[in-house]
Structure 1
Amino acid sequence: MQRIRTTDKERMKQLYYTGVTEEKLQYVYEYRNILFDLVEPVVNELYDDIKKVEVLRELIQQHSTFERLKETQRRYLRECFEATIDDSYIQKRYTIGQVHSRIGLSLSWYLATYTRYADILYKYISQVLPEQATTILLTIQAIFSFDMQLTLEAYKASEVDKAAHPLRWELERLRQMNGFTKTDLKHLEQFSGYISFCIDSIIDQFDHAFTYRLGSEPYYSFIAKDKYLVYIRNFLLQFFQEKVYEDLESYFLIIRDWSRLIIERGYPESLFHIAAESVCEALKKVFLTKEYLHDRHIVQYIHSFERFSKFTLAIMSEIIRPYLFLRDFDFLDIYAYEISTIDFGRLTWIDDKMRRLLRTLGIHEENPIGRRCYELLHNRTVPCSGCPILEQTDEPLLVTLRNDQGTSYYKIRSLPQTKIFELSRALLVIQDVTKESKVMFDTLERLLQLAEYRDDDTKNHVHRIGRLSGMLARLAGCDEQFVSQIEIAAKFHDIGKVGIPDYILNKPGKLTKEEWESMKTHVLIGHQILANLDLPVIQMAANIARTHHEWWNGEGYPNGLKEEDIPLEGRIVAIVDVFDALLSKRIYKDAFPPEKVKEILLDGRGKQFDPKLIDLFLAMWNEFLIARERLQ
């Protein structure tokens, strides 16, 4: 009898390349009865090892049980010892790969179990069949290799499908989490005719249940009862007649629209819970009667509908939770808006506080919905660099917004949502950090003034460095946010000089070796002053303070960084700092003529300075000289 029974030519090729042959399978088959006795101890040892791996243990506990999986594994091992590969065997292996991919088991872990499997098998087989052990194990490993190829195919197909239909995958995950099964879907289909046939009775019972549950709640301000009953009737008819429940993606659009009533129009969430409970009660009143109890499946149908209702409410809860948080914590100093991630940046919702903020900022839009957030808020034609949605980061974006009252600082961050809603929407909040930002900047400005007071050369130098750094950053192709930040941040590059003794700072002659080592510590002092302040622009200033004396070739200080290990802002300030310092008169030197400064900078190309930045700087040499002259 043939042991390979597939008719698929591609599968035959795979079997051939993985070393699975008729002869090898026949050899294993002849010893199958002896091998069957090894199934139990082999599987037990394999799962004892798996239990030791926390990530695998948690995954199994979440989706199954060890006993169920061990039984599946026993069947698989018996099939391997039966040594028969047919289309059914191939489909089972492929399906198992799909299941493991769906539940989130890492492919590397899945394939690693095969290696451990082979080690355990050899130990047990060599005890009972010492002479045949090697040949049998080589055949089993060949079968494993073939199975692993099927697994790889299944994982790849699943990933492609997941990328093509992310909403379907997320809904499937939620369906499994809420215990709504595929059997329940079949029950809904079998129940659909009953519901359509009895729709008038169902609506009558729904009316009674719904009215009773509403009680004295003031929900009628949200709904016109007669129209609502018509809506429920039409919804149930169309939902079951057209089998909308079979296409969860289409059904999600309905749930999303219901959710918008809560988010945008202030409908109480409890109204939807009452409606779901009332429909379930109406079904019980209509169908749990003598007329229908002869059908033993009716109770199953009703239970499936109840699970479907809970699944629906669970999705709604996932969608609206962050919006209700904003509503409940309205006293927080934050403003919220929502954008489309499909039509990126298009405003789809804003809260009342955000409307007031827009007016405060001098933005008087009658209806901002539909505008791009970056156009409306930041006067940009393209999305903001650093946008937490585009960057997929939890780090806030610090923005500076100006109006007649002056400058205000805001942090924009994304608010975590259910992944299912993030596929099309993103919820952002703006936090006003003007007060804390001004306190930080005021404190730093005073430190900067102290440094200027103690070192007169520093006074105008730091302001020139800010503007010149912004010019070079723009020339290097940096975005406007980077440019505006470096113009501020570069001013603090030498703030650490507040920690250097006066006799060193203002010494007219050459510093001793010890004095020079003390002077070099200003970069670390500056970094320590700035590093713990929670503003992106100050974090940039901390980087500049620490790295603007690093050299491109690694011979700088304090850490001997080289090339692009030095942050871009540090490389930019390194050039303009030397440029301005050489052109300035200092207590220990006269100002250098421009041509000499140009020669020194060019000599430092690829040694002290980033060669690309130096080339750009020297290409616009006259413009930088003129700008510096204007800033004197």
Structure 2
Amino acid sequence: MRVLVIDDSQINVTLLCRLLEKIEHCSSVDFLDPESALHWCVKEAPDLVLVDYMMPNMNGIEFIRQFRNLPHCQDIPVLMITANDEVALRYQALEVGANDFLIKPVDKIEFLARTKNMLALRRHQRLLENRAAWLDAEVQKATAEIRAREQETILRLSKAADSRDPETGAHIVRMANYSRLIAQNLNLPEAVQQMILEAAPMHDIGKVGIPDHILLKPGKLSVDEFSIMKTHARLGFQILDGSASETLQMGAEIALAHHEKFDGSGYPQGLVGSAIPLSARIVAVADVFDALTSERPYKQAWDIERAVNFLREGSGQHFDPLCVNAFLQNFSEVLAIKERYQEDQDDVENFGAF
């Protein structure tokens, strides 16, 4: 354990350091100048401070005040050593953070007893800190395991819906990464960006409840068939709603509202503008762009420029203008995502992208 010794007298410093050598597992760091000692404390944390009161430029009370302002030094024991035994001085020292006092001339037995007591206090503090750090690490480990299982469940749910849809696993990975990019460019918190990345693949989970003759129909749907197809938004919401998981809660939100349009002409609720959850407004842009630029058994892929023009033309009507602008803000990153996750990649590899 390290003891910081501060006294403007070299004789006093030498005496205190010699006494500290008698304490097992104890080393000392000494300074004649309190300002230099403070500078050292900015990067280092002693286990105990022994500081004289009467010193030029900065007395012991001012040193303690500034020492206690350092975030990592607020709980470290401080012993003030002084020839002044006035009660008022002691009160002042206690107010700024001193823990105990020694009066000069220092009595060897009293010094060793008080120092050992302060070091014992600090040792217990460190044990508690280490215990707290260990508990925090264990909690983070357990939380990470839960998150990993949750992510696996989400991906398997998304893949279950995908297996009944002509869209590919690469599609949901691309649109999820597009969604995160939009969230990033909207300056949303990192945690929200990650949640959108993980929740976006669940946007079409409700398609598991759509009959094959409608879901897989190569041609245009009839009015009645399209009415049934539109129910996948509410079905997806019903599948995911009520979960304790924030990610699944966002997934339910996205599943229900990603077909809403900014002007209110979408479904299933006909929401307008900011009444549509932001997560769903983000996913709407990402999903449509990838659907347009991807080849399907029933259509050819649009070229990039045509798809971008479609987004721009739909800005303020189909799409939230802020989300469109955020998507186009760093378009080189959009192209990089599109190139990274190709249709012919293995689904397992694609799902690992999360």
TM-score bucket (shorter structure): 0.5 to 0.7
Equivalent residue for 1:301? none
Alpha-carbon distance in 2 for matches of 1:535, 1:354: 26
Change (3 A) 1:355 1:573: same
- Report the Cα distance in structure 1 between the residues aligned to 2:169 and 2:163, rounded to whole angstroms: 7
Find the partner of 1:534 among 231, 241, 244.
244
Alpha-carbon offset, residue 251 of structure 1: 12
- SS of the aligned residue for 1:454 comes to coil
Distance across 2 between alignment mates of 1:501 and 1:264: 69
Give per-residue Cα distances to partners, 1:296-332, cap 9 Å, x unaligned: xxxxxxxxxxxxxxxxxxxxxxxxxxxxxxxxxxxxx
2:131 match: 352
Distance 1:508 1:253, change over 3 A: farther
State yes or no: 1:630 paired with 2:340. Answer: yes
1:467 counterpart SS class: helix
SS at match of 2:166: coil
Identity %: 38
Aligned-partner Cα distance in 2 for 1:618–1:438: 31
What is the identity, as a one-letter code, of the residue corresponding to 1:496? G
Query: Which structure 2 segments of 5+ residues have no match?
Result: 1-85, 100-120, 343-354
CA contact (8 A) 2:204 2:255 kept: yes
| 1:356 Cα offset (Å) | 6.2
Aligned pairs for 1:215-230 within 5 A: none
Distance 1:505 1:594 in 2: 26
Q: Is it true that 1:603 corresponds to 2:316 in the alignment?
A: no
Question: 1:596 is paired with a residue of what secondary structure?
Answer: helix
1:618 equivalent among 318, 322, 328: 328
1:612 positional shift: 2.0
Superposed, 1:20-169 pairs within 5 Å as: none
In 2, distance between residues paired with 1:488 and 1:571? 16
Opposite residue 593 of structure 1, the aligned amino acid is D
Q: Which letter maps to 2:302?
A: F
- Match for 1:549: what amino acid? H
Q: Deviations over 1:214-239 (max 9, x none)?
A: xxxxxxxxxxxxxxxxxxxxxxx96x
Q: Quick check: 1:523 aligned with 2:302?
A: no
Larger radius of gyration: 1
Q: Structure 1 residue 586: deviation in Å?
A: 2.3
Secondary structure of the 1:544 match is helix
Distance 1:542 1:575 in 2: 18
**Mapped partners of 2:148, 2:327: distance in 1:** 33
CA RMSD in angstroms, aligned pairs only? 3.5
Q: Whole-Å Cα distance in 2 between the matches of residues 510 and 590 of structure 1?
A: 15
Q: Where in structure 2 are the equivalents of 1:114-513 lying within 5 Å?
A: 350=129, 352=131, 354-355=133-134, 358=137, 432-513=142-223
Alignment coverage as a number of residue pairs: 237
The CA deviation at 1:583 is 0.8
For the structure 1 residues 264 and 454, does the alpha-carbon distance in structure 2 shift closer, same or farther, using more than 3 Å as the test?
A: farther
TM superposition score normalised by structure 2: 0.58
For CA contacts below 8 A with separation 6 or more, give which structure has more relative contact order. Answer: 2
The 1:517/1:484 distance shift into structure 2, 3 A limit, reads: same
Distance change (3 Å), C-alpha of 1:253 and 1:568? farther
User: Paired residue for 1:307?
Assistant: none
Contact 1:455–1:505 (8 Å) recurs in 2: yes
Paired residue for 1:153? none
Q: What is the aligned partner in structure 1 of residue 287 from structure 2?
A: 577
Q: Is the 8 A contact 1:507 1:587 kept in 2?
A: no
Q: What's the CA shift for 1:435?
A: 4.6
**Structure with the higher fraction of residues in helix conformation:** 1
Shift of 1:489: 1.4
CA offset at residue 619 of structure 1? Answer: 4.1
Contact map agreement 1:447 1:498 (CA 8 A) in 2 = no
Tell me the CA shift for residue 446 of structure 1.
Answer: 2.3
Q: Cα distance, 1:479 vs. partner?
A: 2.5
Cα separation, partners in 2 of 1:511 and 1:534, compared to 1, 3 Å: same
The SS at the match of 1:447 is helix
Can you give the 5+ residue segments of structure 1 that lack an aligned partner in the other structure?
A: 1-236, 245-249, 255-262, 268-348, 361-409, 411-429
Going from structure 1 to structure 2, the CA distance change for 1:540 and 1:433 (only over 3 Å counts) comes to: same
Q: Is the 8 A contact 1:496 1:525 kept in 2?
A: yes
Q: Which amino acid aligns with 1:517?
A: S
Superposed CA offset, 1:326-384 (max 9, x none): xxxxxxxxxxxxxxxxxxxxxxx7461533654x7xxxxxxxxxxxxxxxxxxxxxxxx
One-letter identity of the residue aligned with 1:604? G
Q: CA deviation at 1:546?
A: 1.7
